[in-house]
């Protein structure tokens, strides 16, 4: 208490030291290239911001502030005590990702605000203008009369033109983020929607509203408020509060990405840039390609449960490890190895056992077998969202894996709720956010990398915690067999993937399986390895489909890298098609992936991203003549020819199809 008082007095003296407080204010924060301007104003004691690009308004005057439970709201009767500005330009190196180097360049202003009356509470609004967007957050220091708060609501508005079209999935639903996207005018949004929320504005620019560095707070969804403005709707806890926090506290960054066109949006790196660098080396972190005892369960060949068709037996796992070795795939996921999968396993969530294997699975034996063959096992923890049960076992479970040389874990939260101490909480509430963070930090302690299913959405924290290799957090291929449409993969790069990598479980070749018939062609399955970034990429089908059925097509899955040096998006329209080129990390080879929706699409690709005076062997995997996602899914043409940067590639994508190209430098 005493310490807080001393610190507060010093801060207060600094804050009020030099300048006279201001009651009305208008300021501008231009981006480094001056095309984007964030305007800030203090009017009648309240703060507003707006955003312009090339002089055109993108976000009209939007109100800022926080409503508190048991205390006066934090937005009224404000005066501006001081401002501070700075410019920043740094290029940092990623451990893994879509680019090796990322530039972080912005102008910043901090508005130090104080209430003129009442408790005279202080807080800061910090804004950053980048060449590709604007971000801001609330920062609240501890004060003698104000040391903790209960957030009742954040009133943060994003007052974009409601005639813009938004690509959205609903919030507060039992399947979390696993929904198909809808496109509709903003004024038609009746319920809260998740972020990133991508918007086609009437003036032609693209926006995506999201958040960065989400810690210890409810995640932000968006809804129309009484002013007909999009506004933050923070995921509530079961008691209705949005967050309980001790001061000092910074909210997550509120982010508005801005692009001239859809394809430019796909390489916006603000979300990573708004996170801190890691505190440790994390030199043990390594991207991974892995197969799994997995799709066999989806098509009914194996079961997660024990019994005659139990998938995760010692024998099957060794067979899959042998296949990994033969196929040159470095990792293997094993689901259903532990006690708790019998009967209705969703009901067994409260008692799932993450320590003890089923009787027909010898964890030590299997782990040793894998280790001798240099195959990385990916462990699996299906919590069903019962986080008390998981947290009671989490440390022992991670330690057990680490002791057995298992460095990758796929935790899952496939329940409609997070269940904690008998309460039902949203996965995306403060309770969920805190749990995912505890798991991630504990995993780091044991040098374990995570692929989180049913996760909290990405907010770029993998910059700080690079052992967070990937997440699911959107509708993935497990929904094939009726609930996944060809257009989905042409929407994700402009929406969900702006928040980070995704484990889409690509590479299913058994596309005509009667249990799970897929709405895709074989070539499109290859394209995903380039179009959908993930720090852990799955080769999701059973080995025999790679070895016996489609060995030539499998070669691409074998060759394609997981981590990239550079990413160059080539073509795209949301919901229609998307083509991207990426250079393999620390290599001179390039890869191109393209996907289309239900319609066929022909593209002519310029190769001017290649080195001059250099010849590349192009290995092209494209839809065969008459290929179609419904009738003729297996038709694939594989061809090889030499190309240079002056050449172009003419490629036809079948309805629901796609293509993949490897450009190997000769």
Active site residues: 478
Q: Count residues contacting ligand NOJ (CB under 6 A)?
A: 7
Nearer to ligand NOJ, 516 or 601 (CB): 516
Nearer to ligand NOJ, 289 or 622 (CB): 289
Any residues with CB less than 8 A from the CB of 548 and at least 6 apart, and which? none
Residue 335: contacted member of ligand NOJ, Ca ion, none (CB under 5 to 8 Å, by partner type): ligand NOJ
**Residue 211 contacts ligand NOJ per CB under 6 A:** no
Nearer to ligand NOJ, 289 or 453 (CB): 453
443-462 residues in contact with ligand NOJ (CB under 6 A) are: 453
Residue 306: contacted member of Ca ion, ligand NOJ, none (CB under 5 to 8 Å, by partner type): none
Q: Which two tokens stand for residue 510?
A: 């058994």
Q: Give the Å distances, CA to CA, from 334 to 27, 440, 470.
A: 56, 20, 17
Rounded distance, CA 13 to CA 15, Å?
5
464-483 residues in contact with Ca ion (CB under 5 A) are: 472
- Name which of 265, 315, 322 is nearest 291 in CA terms: 322
Residue 98: contacted member of Ca ion, ligand NOJ, none (CB under 5 to 8 Å, by partner type): none
Which residue has 């290995």 as its token pair? Answer: 619
**Residue 414 contacts ligand NOJ per CB under 6 A:** yes
Give the x/- contact pattern for Ca ion in 441-460, rule: CB under 5 A.
------------x-------
Length of the chain: 666
The residues that bridge with 39 in the sheet, in sequence order, are 28, 50
Rounded distance, CA 300 to CA 638, Å?
31
Nearer to ligand NOJ, 194 or 601 (CB): 194
Please tell me what DSSP assigns to residue 278: P
Q: Least distance (Å) from ligand NOJ to the CB of residue 455?
A: 10
Give the ranges where 355-472 is alpha helix by DSSP (H).
Answer: 363-372, 387-403, 430-445
459-478 residues in contact with ligand NOJ (CB under 6 A) are: 472, 478
Rounded distance, CA 23 to CA 510, Å?
67
Torsional class of 125: left (φ above 0), alpha (ψ -120 to 50), beta (otherwise): beta
Nearer to ligand NOJ, 409 or 553 (CB): 409
Is-contact 576 601, C-beta < 8 A? yes
Give the ranges where 492-576 is alpha helix by DSSP (H).
Answer: 522-531, 543-544, 551-559
Q: Least distance (Å) from ligand NOJ to the CB of residue 377?
A: 16
184-203 residues in contact with ligand NOJ (CB under 6 A) are: none
Rounded distance, CA 494 to CA 206, Å?
10
Please tell me what DSSP assigns to residue 529: H
Nearer to ligand NOJ, 262 or 412 (CB): 412
Q: Least distance (Å) from ligand NOJ to the CB of residue 321?
A: 19
Q: Least distance (Å) from Ca ion to the CB of residue 175?
A: 8
Rounded distance, CA 570 to CA 581, Å?
7
Which residue has 């932000």 as its token pair? Answer: 220
Q: Least distance (Å) from ligand NOJ to the CB of residue 383?
A: 9
Nearer to ligand NOJ, 282 or 345 (CB): 345
Q: Count residues contacting Ca ion (CB under 5 A)?
A: 2
Give the x/- contact pattern for ligand NOJ in 364-393, rule: CB under 6 A.
------------------x-----------
Specify burial of residue 342 (Cβ count, 10 A radius: 0-12, 13-18, 19+). Answer: middle
278-337 residues in contact with ligand NOJ (CB under 6 A) are: 335
Give the x/- contact pattern for ligand NOJ in 475-494, rule: CB under 6 A.
---x----------------
**Residue 115 contacts ligand NOJ per CB under 6 A:** no
- Name which of 102, 156, 164, 132 is nearest 38 in CA terms: 132
Please tell me what DSSP assigns to residue 526: H
Q: Which positions lie near Ca ion, rule CB under 5 A?
A: 453, 472
Chain contacts with ligand NOJ (rule: CB under 6 A): 335, 382, 412, 414, 453, 472, 478
């Amino acid at each position: 208490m005493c310490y807080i008082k001393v610190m507060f007095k010093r801060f207060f003296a600094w804050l009020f030291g030099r300048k006279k407080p201001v009651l009305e204010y208008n300021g501008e924060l231009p981006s480094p290239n001056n095309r984007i301007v964030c305007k800030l104003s203090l009017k009648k004691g309240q703060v507003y911001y707006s955003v312009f690009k090339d002089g055109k308004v993108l976000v009209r005057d939007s109100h800022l502030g926080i409503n508190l439970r048991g205390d006066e709201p934090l937005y009224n009767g404000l005066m501006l005590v001081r401002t501070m500005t700075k410019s920043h330009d740094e290029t940092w190196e990623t451990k893994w990702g879509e680019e090796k180097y990322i530039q972080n360049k912005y102008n910043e202003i901090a508005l130090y605000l104080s209430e003129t009356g009442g408790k005279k509470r202080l807080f800061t609004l910090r804004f950053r203008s980048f060449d590709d967007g604007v971000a801001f957050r609330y920062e609240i220091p501890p004060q003698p009369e104000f040391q903790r708060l209960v957030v009742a609501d954040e009133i943060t508005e994003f007052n974009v033109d409601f005639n813009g079209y938004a690509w959205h999935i609903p919030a507060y639903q039992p399947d979390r983020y696993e929904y198909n996207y809808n496109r509709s005018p903003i004024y038609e949004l009746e319920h809260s929607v998740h972020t990133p929320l991508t918007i086609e504005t009437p003036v032609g620019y693209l926006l995506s509203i999201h958040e960065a560095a989400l810690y210890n707070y409810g995640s932000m969804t968006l809804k129309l408020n009484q002013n007909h403005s999009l506004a933050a709707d923070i995921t509530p806890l079961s008691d209705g509060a949005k967050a309980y926090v001790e001061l000092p506290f910074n909210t997550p960054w509120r982010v508005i990405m801005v692009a001239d066109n859809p394809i430019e949006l796909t390489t916006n790196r603000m979300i990573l840039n708004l996170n801190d660098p890691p505190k440790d080396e994390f030199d043990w972190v390594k991207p991974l390609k892995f197969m799994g005892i997995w799709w066999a369960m989806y098509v009914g060949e194996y079961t997660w449960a024990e019994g005659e068709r139990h998938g995760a037996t010692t024998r099957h796992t060794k067979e899959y490890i042998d296949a990994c070795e033969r196929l040159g795939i470095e990792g293997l996921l094993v689901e259903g190895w532990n006690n708790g999968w019998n009967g209705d396993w969703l009901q067994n969530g409260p008692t799932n056992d993450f320590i003890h294997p089923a009787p027909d699975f010898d964890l030590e034996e299997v782990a040793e077998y894998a280790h001798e063959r240099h195959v990385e096992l990916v462990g699996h923890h299906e919590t069903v969202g019962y986080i008390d049960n998981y947290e009671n076992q989490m440390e022992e479970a991670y330690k057990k894996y680490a002791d057995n040389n298992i460095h990758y874990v796929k935790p899952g939260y496939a329940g409609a709720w997070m269940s904690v101490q008998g309460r039902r909480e949203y996965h995306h509430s403060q309770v969920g956010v805190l749990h995912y963070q505890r798991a991630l930090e504990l995993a780091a302690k044991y040098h374990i990398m995570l692929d989180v299913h049913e996760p909290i959405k990405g907010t770029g924290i993998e910059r700080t915690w690079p052992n967070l290799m990937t997440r699911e957090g959107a509708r993935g291929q497990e929904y094939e067999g009726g609930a996944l449409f060809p257009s989905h993969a042409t929407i994700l790069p402009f929406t969900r993937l702006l928040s980070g990598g995704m484990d889409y479980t690509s590479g299913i070749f058994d596309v005509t399986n009667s249990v799970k018939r897929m709405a895709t062609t074989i070539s499109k399955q290859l394209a995903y390895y380039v179009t959908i970034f993930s720090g852990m990429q799955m080769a999701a089908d059973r080995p025999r489909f790679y070895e016996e059925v489609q060995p030539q097509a499998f070669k691409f899955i074998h060759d394609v890298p997981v981590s990239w040096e550079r990413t160059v998006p080539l073509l795209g329209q949301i919901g229609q098609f998307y083509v991207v080129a990426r250079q393999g990390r620390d290599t001179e080879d390039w890869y191109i992936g393209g996907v289309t929706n239900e319609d066929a699409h022909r593209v002519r690709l310029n190769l001017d991203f290649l080195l001059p005076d250099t010849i590349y062997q192009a290995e092209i995997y494209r839809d065969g003549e008459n290929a179609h996602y419904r009738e003729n899914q297996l038709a694939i043409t594989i061809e090889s020819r030499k190309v240079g940067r002056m050449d172009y590639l003419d490629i036809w994508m079948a309805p629901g199809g796609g293509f993949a190209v490897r450009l190997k430098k000769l």
